Amino acid sequence: MSDTIPSSAPPGAPLTKQERLAELRRRIYEIEKKNDSEDEDRLLRMAELEVEYTEKFGRRGEDWDLVDAGPHGPIVVKRGDAVTAKAYRAKLRKANYSPTDEDDIAFVTPNVEYPSTKELHEIIFNRKFLLPKLVDAVSTLFGLWEDKAQKK
């Protein structure tokens, strides 16, 4: 696709509505093409990690899981030390099931297998909305939500 739109107007003249629309569509196409390439890279990395951790820990969803962090790539969580889950469960009860971000980070961090702790904290700092998604994934591996549902 050409970088410029042919125009019947003299150089420097304003674009017609059709020419402006064509230019904007071209720009959208280029942006989407770049995004598609980034999505392919992310999906490829997720597939590679799924194979690696399935071989290492077994079936996904039992002892480990993969959380899609969008442009930050995948995050691999595992069911770690039960002491971490017990401590988090106690904090949940104490805080009437409203833990702080610090409580959530302290619960999630030791259960992240990939990426590094430093990279994880950068991701959480830049994308706070991912923290509940990570807490949910780790809690599910520990069966914390099942425990709460059974008590009702």
Cα torsion angle, 27, 31, 34, 36, sign: negative
Q: Distance (Å, rounded) from C-alpha 77 to C-alpha 140?
A: 11
The predicted-structure confidence for 67-111, as pLDDT tens digits, reads as follows: 999 888 899 999 988 888 888 888 888 877 788 899 999 999 999
Tens digits of per-residue pLDDT, 16-68?
889 888 988 988 888 888 877 778 888 899 999 999 999 999 999 999 999 99
Residue 130 near residue 123, CB atoms below 8 Å = yes
Return d(Cα 44, Cα 50) in angstroms, integer. Answer: 10
**Tokens representing residue 48 in the block:** 């590679």
